[in-house]
C-alpha cells in the first residue's frame, strides 16, 4: 500500500540569511511553530508560441520567471515569532522595544514532510505582512505573509539513508574473539547474505548483553550465510546473546582529490541519486566531510561532488555514516551541517488575559480586534535569470477593525469628526511573557452598525499613522 503524506508528521525550521537567497554555510536552524495550512507556492510563467502554423495548433511553449509567495498561519505565543515580527516591522528589537525601521531581512524556511521523505527549502523568504485576530473565547491567531526567491525540493528515496537495521529476534548470536585482530559472530538461523551484508560494510550489534566492546561498529572482512568476520582493535569477549539484532551501513571512503564518496555495497543509482542532487553527509569523523555537496557524476558505487573546502581523505568508521539527498529537520541535526534548536513551548495568548485602551482610556466592551500590517514588497527580476535578484520594500501600513457593543456615540463621533485617537492593547497579563502594542496616532476610516435582536454591534475600521512621540506607526514592547 502506498504511503501518503501526513500533515501531523510534518515540520518547519528556519534560519536568517546573511546573503539574500542563500542559507549560511553552517546555519543555526530554529524550529518554527505553525498551524496546519502553511503555504509555500512557487509559480512559473509560461509563454505559448504565437507563430502561425497550417495545423492551427500551438507549436511550442517556454517558461518564464519563477515567483514564490505564501502564508504561515500561527497561534501567537511569546517569543515564538520575534524574528518574523522584526522582519515585518523592518526595525530591530532594542531593549525589548520594536519600532518601524528600514532594515531588510530574509530567511531560509525548510518544510519537511517526513512521511514521504520530501524536503523543501524555500530560499530568500521576505516577510510582507502580519495579521492578528483577537476574538472572544479563542486563542489569539495570526498569519505571516511572505514572498520568496526560489525553492529546492528533494526526495528521500528508499535506501537514501544508507544504513539498515535488522532484528535477529530469538536467534542466538555467538561472538568469538580471534587472535588476529578479527572476531566472528555466528547466528543460529537466517542469513547475513540475504540481509545484504557485504565485505567493507560497517556492522553494529544491538541488544548484546556484555560487554559494550562487543557492540561495534566493526568493519566486515568476510561474510557467509551464518558467520560474519570483522576487524576489531577492541577486546571482543566470547558471548552468546539471544533476541538481539544488528545495524549495517556500507563502508564509505571519501577521497579529497577526486571529491568522491565510494560505497562498499549497494548502489547510488538504485537509491535514486542523480547529477544535480544535493547530498547531506553526516556521521563522519572529519569536520570537512560534513555538509551539503552537489553531485556532478554518479555511478553505482561512486558519487563525485563539486569542490568542497576542507574535504579530507577518510575511511568512514563512525556508525552510521549517512549520505542522503534529504535536507533533514526535526530529529536530524541540521540540513546544512549546522545546529537545529527546537521551537519553544510557550502557551499561546488567549482573549481572556489582556487589556485594551482607546484614546488612553479603558474600553471594556470590545468584541473583537483585528490588526493587519502590510508591506509593499516587490521582487525584482533581471534578464537571463528566472528568479528574483532582490526584494525592495515600500511603505508599511497598519490598518484594522474593531467591533464593540453599542453603548454611546463616542466612536462614531470620532469617525465623523476625523478626530485623532490612539489604540493600545496588551496580550498577556502585562507581566513577564507579555506584548504591548501601541498605535499612538489613529484615525477611524469607517463606521457601521449591526442591529440584531439582542446586542447591537458597532464595527469601526481604523488606520494607524506615524506618531511623533513614538517615532513609529506601531511600537511593540515585549516583557521578558
pLDDT of residue 51: 92
Helix/strand/coil (H/E/C) assignment for every residue in the chain: CCCCCCHHHEEEEEEECCECCECCCCCEEEECCCCCCCEEEEEEEEEECCCCCCCCCCCCEEEEEEEEEEEEEEECECCCCHHHHHHHHCCCCECCEEECCCCCCCEEEEEEECCCCEEEEEEEEEEEEEEEEECCCCECEEEEEEEECEEEEEECCCCCCCCEEEECCCCCEEEEECCCCEEEEEECCCCHHHHCCCCCCEEEEECCCCCHHHCCCEEEEEECCCEEEEECCCCCCCEEECCCEEEEECCEEEECCCCEEEECCCCCCCCCCCCCCEEEEECCCCHHHCEEEEEEEECCCEEEECCCCCCCCEEECCCCCEEECCCCCCCCCCCCCCEEECCCCCCECECCCEEEEECCEECCCEEEEEEEEEEEEEEECCCCCCCCCEEEEEEEEEEEEEEEECCCCHHHHHHHHCCCEEEEEEECCCCCCEEEEEEEEEEEEEEEEEECCCCEEEEEEEEECCECCCCECCEEEEEC
CATH, domain range 164-249 = 2.40.30
pLDDT of residue 328: 30
Q: First and final CA of the chain: distance in angstroms? A: 50
pLDDT of residue 170: 53
Please report, for the chain, the start and end positions of each structural domain, with discontinuous segments joined by +: 7-153, 164-249, 252-325, 354-479
pTM of the model: 0.72
pLDDT of residue 172: 60
CATH, domain range 7-153 = 2.30.110
Class of domain 354-479: mainly beta
Chain segment 316-355, per-residue pLDDT in tens: 644 333 444 333 322 333 344 456 788 999 999 999 999 9
pLDDT of residue 353: 95
Domain 7-153 and domain 164-249, same fold? Reply is: no
pLDDT of residue 243: 62
Q: Which three cell numbers, joined as nine digits, stand for 436? A: 504591548
pLDDT of residue 232: 74
pLDDT of residue 332: 33
Residues of the chain with pLDDT under 50: 1, 157-163, 317-337
pLDDT of residue 171: 57
Amino acid at each position: 500500500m502506498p504511503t501518503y503524506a501526513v500533515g501531523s508528521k510534518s515540520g518547519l525550521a528556519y534560519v536568517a540569511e546573511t546573503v539574500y537567497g542563500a542559507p549560511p554555510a553552517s546555519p543555526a536552524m530554529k524550529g518554527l511553530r505553525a498551524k496546519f495550512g502553511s503555504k509555500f507556492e512557487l509559480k512559473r510563467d509560461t509563454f505559448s508560441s504565437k507563430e502561425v502554423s497550417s495545423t492551427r495548433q500551438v507549436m511550442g511553449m517556454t517558461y518564464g520567471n519563477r515567483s514564490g509567495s505564501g502564508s504561515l498561519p500561527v497561534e501567537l505565543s511569546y517569543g515564538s515569532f520575534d524574528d518574523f515580527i522584526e522582519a515585518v516591522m523592518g526595525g530591530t528589537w532594542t531593549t525589548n522595544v520594536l519600532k518601524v525601521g528600514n532594515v531588510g531581512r530574509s530567511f531560509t524556511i525548510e518544510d519537511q514532510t517526513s512521511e514521504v521523505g520530501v524536503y523543501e527549502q524555500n530560499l530568500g523568504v521576505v516577510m510582507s505582512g502580519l495579521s492578528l485576530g483577537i476574538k472572544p473565547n479563542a486563542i489569539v491567531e495570526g498569519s505571516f505573509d511572505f514572498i520568496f526567491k526560489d525553492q529546492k525540493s528533494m526526495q528521500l528515496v528508499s535506501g537514501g539513508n544508507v544504513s539498515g537495521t535488522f532484528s535477529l529476534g530469538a536467534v542466538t548470536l555467538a561472538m568469538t574473539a580471534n587472535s588476529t585482530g578479527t572476531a566472528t559472530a555466528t547466528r543460529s538461523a537466517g542469513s547475513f547474505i540475504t540481509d545484504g551484508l557485504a565485505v567493507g560494510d560497517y556492522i553494529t550489534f544491538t541488544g548484546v548483553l556484555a560487554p559494550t566492546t562487543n557492540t561495534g561498529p566493526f568493519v566486515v572482512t568476510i561474510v557467509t550465510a551464518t558467520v560474519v568476520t570483522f576487524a576489531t582493535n577492541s577486546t571482543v569477549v566470547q558471548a552468546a546473546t539471544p533476541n538481539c539484532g544488528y545495524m549495517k551501513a556500507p563502508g564509505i571512503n571519501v577521497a579529497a582529490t577526486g571529491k568522491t564518496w565510494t560505497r562498499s555495497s549497494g548502489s547510488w543509482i538504485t537509491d535514486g541519486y542523480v547529477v544535480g542532487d544535493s547530498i547531506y553527509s553526516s556521521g563522519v569523523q572529519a569536520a570537512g566531510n560534513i555538509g551539503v555537496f552537489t553531485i556532478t557524476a554518479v555511478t553505482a558505487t561512486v558519487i563525485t561532488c563539486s569542490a568542497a573546502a576542507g574535504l579530507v581523505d577518510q575511511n568512514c568508521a563512525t556508525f552510521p555514516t549517512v549520505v542522503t539527498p534529504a535536507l533533514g529537520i526535526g530529529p536530524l541535526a541540521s540540513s546544512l551541517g549546522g545546529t537545529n534548536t527546537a521551537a519553544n513551548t510557550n502557551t499561546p495568548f488567549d482573549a481572556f488575559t489582556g487589556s485594551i485602551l482607546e484614546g488612553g482610556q479603558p474600553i471594556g466592551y470590545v468584541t473583537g480586534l483585528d490588526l493587519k500590517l502590510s508591506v509593499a514588497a516587490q521582487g525584482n527580476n533581471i534578464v537571463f535569470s528566472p528568479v528574483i535578484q532582490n526584494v525592495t520594500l515600500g511603505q508599511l501600513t497598519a490598518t484594522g477593525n474593531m467591533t464593540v457593543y453599542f453603548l454611546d456615540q463616542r466612536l462614531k463621533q470620532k469617525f465623523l469628526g476625523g478626530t485623532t485617537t490612539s489604540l493600545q492593547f496588551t496580550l498577556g497579563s502585562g507581566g513577564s511573557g507579555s506584548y504591548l502594542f501601541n498605535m499612538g496616532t489613529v484615525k477611524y476610516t469607517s463606521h457601521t452598525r449591526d442591529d440584531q435582536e439582542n446586542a447591537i454591534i458597532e464595527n469601526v475600521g481604523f488606520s494607524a499613522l506615524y506618531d511623533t512621540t513614538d517615532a513609529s506607526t506601531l511600537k511593540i514592547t515585549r516583557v521578558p
